[in-house]
């Protein structure tokens, strides 16, 4: 149906493909300009990266494993439709570097240990609220124990500046109990 007439389609363009192409063109066009659109695109990409809590830029991650952790929006839509293809976007993305040697990213470990999205989502909600991405963000200074405040789902101190992390709400008491 969506194919050209030559390949026995009826030449109706796929609206999903058309929209994805237009969105990618907008991201590329505004990627290196000083404009409000550039700032909004960058903000959306940073928000997704924070929600995922991964060391790897989200464009390079498989959507089927990480997509359920991302906030809804057109950037997630584009990632979803680009993920099964060999296309990816590269450029200035806010990725978090490990703070110490052999540090691990909590959500990357959960995804690779085959945790279901349903069981990983409460952990991600707490991780996101606490403002951390790596295991060392939730441990004591020597890295031998998880900080007691973390077990309660409470922030002992702000890991990142408030304006550098998306606004969050405290996790539900039920999520902390799990």
Do 73 and 125 lie in one domain? The reply is no
Q: How far is CA 107 from CA 49, 87, 101, 110, 134, in A?
A: 11, 24, 18, 5, 8
Kind and range of the H or E element at 107? helix 106-112
- State pTM to two decimals: 0.73
Nearest CA to 53 out of 65, 68, 69 is that of: 69
Specify whether 10 is located in the same domain as 50.
Answer: yes
Which residues have CB under 8 Å from 11's CB, separation 6+? Answer: 3, 4, 5
19 has pLDDT over 60: yes
120 within domain boundaries? yes
C-alpha to C-alpha distances, 3 to 6, 11, 73, 94, nearest whole angstrom: 8, 6, 28, 38
User: Sorting pLDDT into bands at 50, 70 and 90, what band is 174?
Assistant: low
Residue 99 counted as domain residue? no
Among residues 82, 117, 135, the one where a domain terminates is 82
pLDDT-derived band at 12 (thresholds 50, 70, 90) equals: low
Domain of 40 in residue numbering reads as 5-82
pLDDT at site 23: 80
Q: Model confidence over 90-133: pLDDT tens digits?
A: 766 667 777 788 889 999 999 989 888 888 888 888 888 888 88
Distance (Å, rounded) from C-alpha 19 to C-alpha 43? 20
What is the share, in percent, of the chain residues with pLDDT greater than 70? 78
How many Cβ atoms sit within 10 Å of the Cβ of residue 16?
12
Q: Are residues 43 and 77 in the same domain?
A: yes
Q: Let me know if residue 131 belongs to a domain.
A: yes
Question: What local confidence, expressed as pLDDT, does residue 3 receive?
Answer: 56
88 located within any domain? no
What's the total number of domains in the chain? Answer: 2
């Amino acid at each position: 149906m969506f194919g050209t007439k030559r390949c026995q389609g009826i030449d109706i363009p796929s609206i999903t493909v058309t929209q994805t192409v237009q969105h990618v063109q907008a991201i590329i066009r505004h990627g290196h300009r000083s404009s409000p659109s550039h700032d909004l695109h960058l903000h959306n990409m940073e928000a997704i990266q924070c929600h995922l809590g991964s060391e790897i830029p989200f464009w390079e991650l498989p959507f089927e494993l990480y997509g359920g952790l991302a906030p809804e929006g057109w950037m997630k839509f584009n990632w979803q439709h680009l993920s099964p293809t060999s296309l990816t976007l590269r450029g200035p993305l806010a990725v978090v570097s490990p703070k110490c040697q052999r540090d691990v990213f909590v959500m990357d470990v959960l995804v690779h240990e085959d945790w279901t999205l349903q069981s990983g989502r409460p952990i991600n909600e707490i991780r996101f609220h606490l403002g951390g991405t790596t295991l060392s963000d939730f441990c004591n200074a020597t890295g031998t124990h998880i900080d007691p405040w973390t077990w309660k789902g409470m922030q002992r101190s702000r890991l990142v500046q408030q304006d550098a992390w998306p606004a969050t709400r405290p996790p539900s008491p039920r999520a902390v109990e799990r």
